[in-house]
Amino acid sequence: MAQLLFFGRLRDSVGTGALTAVLPDHVRDTDDLRAWIGAEHPELLDSSIRIAVNAELGPGKAPVGDRDEIAFLPPVSGG
Amino acid sequence: MIRIEPGPFDPAAELAAFAARVPGAGAIASFTGLVRATSDGAEVTGLELQHYPALTERTVAAIGEAARARFGLGGLVIVHRHGAMAPGEPIVFVAAAAGHRRAAFEAVDYMMDRLKTEAPFWKREAGPDGARWIEARASDHEDRARWG
């Protein structure tokens, strides 16, 4: 089971801050994951939403698997 | 020194403690960000600041290290709160010690611009008409872009 986290306004739009999911076999990287979950939550398709895998943000897509913590991050607002 | 914590803090005490840790510094500059009382004309009754602990701590530490290297700092402090807070309370405190004033001023400005646009915090303002999530403004990104 992968752990999916939703921060900021995504927590409200998805309806939860965290859920566990069994990733389908065809979901192998963050692009696959975005397309898969975006079918149900189209707000996650927006390019401003970044995806961190195990709290790491890479420049491009990253592999994902069933042991990963995968976080969807909307634009930030600190300070 | 970098702290990400829920509780309120006293900016004056933070500044005094920092000054005691950097004896001989020629200049110390600091900035305190507060929960504002109004936002776009509407009253703010409370603020919630969400973070992603592992990523937030690493990002804030990287911003501090970049400032230390870029401006040749003798020391720095970043204190950033998360959780629930009330109008008038401090949210963030940043201080930099350097040999001369320009580096200290610029380092504080630089760290704040990067914190506002890069550190994983999400701000939700509550008011009489409900709560709304806030995102960095275009002007925040323009400020960040000044540093390359």
Q: How far away is chain A from the Cα of B65, in angstroms, using its nearest Cα?
A: 18
Average pLDDT over chain A reads: 94
Q: Which of A9, A56, A76 sits opposite B118 (nearest CB)?
A: A76
B81: in domain = yes
Q: Which positions in chain B touch A73 (Cβ < 8 Å)?
A: 52, 120
Is B122 in contact with A74 (Cβ distance < 8 A)?
A: yes
In a domain, B145, yes or no: no
Per-residue pLDDT for A55 more than 90? yes
Contact between A79 and B116 using a beta-carbon 8 Å cutoff: yes
Please check whether residue B53 lies inside any domain of the structure: yes
- Please state, as a whole number, how many other Cβ atoms lie within 10 Å of the Cβ of residue B83: 12
Structure confidence at residue A77 (pLDDT)? 87
* pTM score, whole prediction: 0.93
Please state the domain count of chain B. Answer: 1
Distance from CA of B112 to the nearest CA of A (A): 7
| Size of the A and B interface in Cβ pairs below 8 Å | 66
The reply to whether B92 falls in a domain is yes
Is the pLDDT at B80 greater than 90, yes or no? Answer: yes
CB contact set of B81 (below 8 Å; sequence gap of 6+): B4, B5, B6, B7, B8, B9, B49, B90, B91, B92
Residue A65: count other Cβ atoms within 10 Å of its Cβ.
12
User: What ipTM does this complex have?
Assistant: 0.91
**Domains contained in chain A, CATH given:** 2-64 (3.10.20)
The range of the structural domain enclosing residue B44 comes to 2-140
Residue contact A9–B50, C-beta within 8 A = no
Average pLDDT over residues A43-63: 93
Q: Please, which contacts does B60-63 make with residues 24 or more away whose CB atoms are closer than 8 Å? A: B60/B2, B60/B4, B60/B115, B60/B119, B61/B2, B63/B111, B63/B114, B63/B115, B63/B118, B63/B119
Q: Please give the structure tokens belonging to residue B99.
A: 């040999």
